[in-house]
């Protein structure tokens, strides 16, 4: 398997996991989605918006040199006021990410990318891992909040998510 193929699989997993969390939170209702949870980004909704921000800044702004996306007010958590707003923002982020994935090559994965808050040298391939692990960390916060509420969290294990197999803990 080439690096490009592996990264495409990782991107597919990230998207499926995100959408599982979005669906799970949506089932709990908007009031539950925006409730203060004492997690890093305070609420489930704000955590989902932050994860989308991370995808967008790395895969649209940095990787495609489209920094203008940062000026769009619809990406700010305080402007995401409904499920429709979240859906529109998610769709825009996925579209931008799809544009990157459509032209992804092993050579492009080796290309340097840069974000203002990280010093040093890193590649687009590094960015895919950065986004993946950051998303997983934030979903871990959501899992903890679900457990505190005595609710089973959405699925995010690789095998059930990617292969459709039942989780042994489900």
pTM of the model: 0.94
- Stretch (H or E) spanning 45: helix 44-56
**pLDDT score recorded for residue 166:** 75
Conformational region of residue 29, where left means phi above 0, alpha means psi within -120 to 50, and beta covers everything else: left
Q: Is residue 166 part of a domain?
A: no
Q: Is residue 168 part of a domain?
A: no
Q: 92 is in which domain, residue-wise?
A: 3-160
Structure tokens given for 125: 């391939």
Number of domains in the chain: 1
Which CATH number covers residue 151?
1.20.120.450
Write out pLDDT tens, residues 55-73: 999 999 999 999 999 899 9
Q: Is residue 51 part of a domain?
A: yes
């Amino acid at each position: 398997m080439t690096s490009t193929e592996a990264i495409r699989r990782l991107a597919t997993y990230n998207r499926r996991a995100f959408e599982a969390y979005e669906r799970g939170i949506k089932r709990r209702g908007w009031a539950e989605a925006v409730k203060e949870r004492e997690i890093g980004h305070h609420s489930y909704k704000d955590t989902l918006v932050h994860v989308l921000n991370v995808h967008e800044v790395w895969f649209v702004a940095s990787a495609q040199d489209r920094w203008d996306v940062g000026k769009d007010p619809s990406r700010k958590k305080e402007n995401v006021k409904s499920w429709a707003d979240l859906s529109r923002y998610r769709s825009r982020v996925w579209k931008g990410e799809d544009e990157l994935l459509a032209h992804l090559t092993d050579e492009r994965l080796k290309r340097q990318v840069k974000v203002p808050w990280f010093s040093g040298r890193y590649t687009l391939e590094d960015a895919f891992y950065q986004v993946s692990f950051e998303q997983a960390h934030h979903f871990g916060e959501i899992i903890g909040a679900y457990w505190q509420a005595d609710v089973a969290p959405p699925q995010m294990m690789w095998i059930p998510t990617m292969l459709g197999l039942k989780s042994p803990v489900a």
